[in-house]
């Protein structure tokens, strides 16, 4: 089955700096990669996702890049703000069998702290 | 409209007790997922429902875990004879049908087994 590794486990930055979180996956059939943000005691919320037919996607201060050959993808947050502090999870979905649902495999999470 | 809701939010059980965790998905969402999130870890897939049909239960850790969604809406995750290793947050998520649709998560139920 799919295995997703996420690094670093913790990341501390100053407000205004950029933050980068990296994930690798094992199943070459994976073709969908969402990123979730989970604030302390709250539910995970989707912040951005990317399909395997594109290499990069941006949404304001957040971007995700995908390298299918190397089987890794990254989350980039620019101009970080204290409210960006949370746990971030990457995930991968393999749909080679053409199933009707998305069985996600999550990384271990990155605790991001943005210091004012 | 309302998001995914789960109840109870917190549950403390003595080892050996049975527990039942409830999930109310977003109205109209055909797909419903259960995940287990251990402390400091990412969610791990337990089981998937498409309407009332349980299409995938490959992530259920043992036969003590049972899930149902009899009318294709509300779902219940039942854990029999709870063990300490069952302590975790149990997350429910729902989505429209299709593998690439956003999964909307509930707030979770934190289960502590003493």
Answer yes or no: is pLDDT of B1 > 70.
no
Position A112 scores a pLDDT of 98
3-state secondary structure B41-109: CCCEEEEEEECCEEEECCCCCCCCEEEECCCCCCEEEEECCCCHHHCEEEEEEEECCCCCCCCEECCCE
What confidence tens digit (pLDDT) does each residue in A22-33 have? 999 999 889 999
Closest residue in chain A to residue B102, using alpha carbons only: A46
User: In the 8-state DSSP scheme, what is residue B26?
Assistant: P
Query: How far, in Å, CA of B65 to CA of B78, rounded?
Result: 6
Q: What residues of chain A lie within 8 A of the CB of B40, using their CB?
A: 108-109
Query: How far, in Å, CA of B27 to CA of B94, rounded?
Result: 9
| Residue B29 tokens, joined | 């969402």
| Residue A99 tokens, joined | 């199933």
- A81 pLDDT band (50/70/90 cuts)? very high
For residues A71-97, give the mean pLDDT.
93
Mean pLDDT of chain A: 93
Of all residues in chain A, what percent carry a pLDDT higher than 70?
97
For residues B76-90, give the mean pLDDT.
97
Answer yes or no: is pLDDT of A94 > 80.
no
Q: Which of B91, B99, B102 sits opposite A101 (nearest CB)?
A: B99
Residue of B26, B42, B91 to mutate, testing the A interface (most A Cβ within 10 Å of its Cβ): B42
Residue of B99, B104, B106, B107 to mutate, testing the A interface (most A Cβ within 10 Å of its Cβ): B99
Which among A82, A106, A78 is positioned nearest to A92, based on CA atoms? A106
Q: Which of B45, B100, B105 sits opposite A51 (nearest CB)?
A: B100
Q: What residues of chain A lie within 8 A of the CB of B105, using their CB?
A: 36, 43-45
Would you call B99 and A44 a contact, using CB atoms and an 8 Å cutoff?
A: no
Closest residue in chain B to residue A32, using alpha carbons only: B100
Q: Which of A45, A100, A109 sits opposite B41 (nearest CB)?
A: A109
- B3 pLDDT band (50/70/90 cuts)? very high
- Rounded to 10 degrees, what is the CA torsion of A80, A81, A86, A90? -30
Query: How far, in Å, CA of B101 to CA of B28, rounded?
Result: 13
Place of tokens 């594109």: A54
Position A53 scores a pLDDT of 84
Answer yes or no: is pLDDT of A12 > 70.
yes
Q: Minimal Cα–Cα distance from A50 to chain B, Å?
A: 10
Residue of A102, A103, A110 to mutate, testing the B interface (most B Cβ within 10 Å of its Cβ): A102
Which residues, numbered 90 to 109 in chain B, qualify as contacts with chain A under a Cβ-Cβ cut-off of 8 Å?
Answer: 91, 95, 97-103, 105-108
């Amino acid at each position: 089955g799919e295995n997703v590794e996420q690094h670093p486990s913790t990341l501390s930055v100053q407000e205004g700096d950029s933050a980068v979180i990296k994930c690798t996956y094992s199943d070459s059939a994976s073709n969908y990669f969402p990123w979730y943000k989970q604030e302390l005691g709250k539910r995970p919320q989707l912040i951005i996702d990317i399909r395997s037919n594109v290499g990069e996607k941006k949404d304001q201060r957040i971007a995700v890049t995908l390298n299918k050959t190397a089987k890794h993808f990254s989350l980039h947050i620019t101009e970080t703000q204290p409210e960006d502090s949370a746990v971030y999870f990457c995930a991968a979905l393999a749909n080679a069998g053409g199933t009707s649902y998305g069985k996600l495999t999550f990384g271990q999470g990155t605790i991001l702290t943005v210091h004012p | 409209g309302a998001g995914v809701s789960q109840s109870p939010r917190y549950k403390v059980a003595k080892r050996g007790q049975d527990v039942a965790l409830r999930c109310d998905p977003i109205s109209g969402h055909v797909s419903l997922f259960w995940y287990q999130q251990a402390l400091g870890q990412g969610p791990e897939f337990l089981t998937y429902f498409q309407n009332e049909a349980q299409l995938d239960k490959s992530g259920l850790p043992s036969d003590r875990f049972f899930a149902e969604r009899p009318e294709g809406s509300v779902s219940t995750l039942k854990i029999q004879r709870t063990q300490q290793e069952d302590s975790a947050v149990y997350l429910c998520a729902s989505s429209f049908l299709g593998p690439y649709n956003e999964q909307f998560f509930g707030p979770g139920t934190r289960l502590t087994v003493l």
